[in-house]
A and B are shown apart, each in its own frame.
Chain A
Amino acid sequence: GAVVSQHPSWVICKSGTSVKIECRSLDFQATTMFWYRQFPKQSLMLMATSNEGSKATYEQGVEKDKFLINHASLTLSTLTVTSAHPEDSSFYICSARNLAGGNYEQYFGPGTRLTVT
Chain B
Amino acid sequence: GQQLNQSPQSMFIQEGEDVSMNCTSSSIFNTWLWYKQDPGEGPVLLIALYKAGELTSNGRLTAQFGITRKDSFLNISASIPSDVGIYFCAGRTRGTGNQFYFGTGTSLTVIP
Partners in one complex: yes
Alpha-carbon separation in the docked complex, A42 to B103 (Å): 10
Contact across chains for B50 and A93 when beta carbons are under 8 A apart = no
Residue of B nearest to A2 (CB): B45
**Residues 93-117 of A contacting B (Cβ, < 8 Å):** 93, 95, 97, 103-111, 113
Q: How far is the CB of A82 from chain B (nearest CB, A)?
A: 22
Contact across chains for B98 and A46 when beta carbons are under 8 A apart = no
Residues of A within 8 A of B68 (CB): none
Residues of B within 8 A of A32 (CB): 98
Q: Out of A43, A104, A107, A111, which one reaches B88, CB within 8 Å?
A: A43
Size of interface on A: residues with Cβ below 8 Å to B: 28
A78 at the interface (CB under 8 A from B): no
Contact across chains for B45 and A105 when beta carbons are under 8 A apart = yes
Residues of A within 8 A of B103 (CB): 43
Find the residue from A34, A46, A59, A91 having the highest chain B CB count within 10 A: A46
Residues of B within 8 A of A103 (CB): 31, 48, 50
B111 at the interface (CB under 8 A from A): no
Contact across chains for B44 and A108 when beta carbons are under 8 A apart = yes
Residue of B nearest to A49 (CB): B99
Contact across chains for B101 and A49 when beta carbons are under 8 A apart = no
Alpha-carbon separation in the docked complex, A32 to B97 (Å): 11
A44 at the interface (CB under 8 A from B): yes
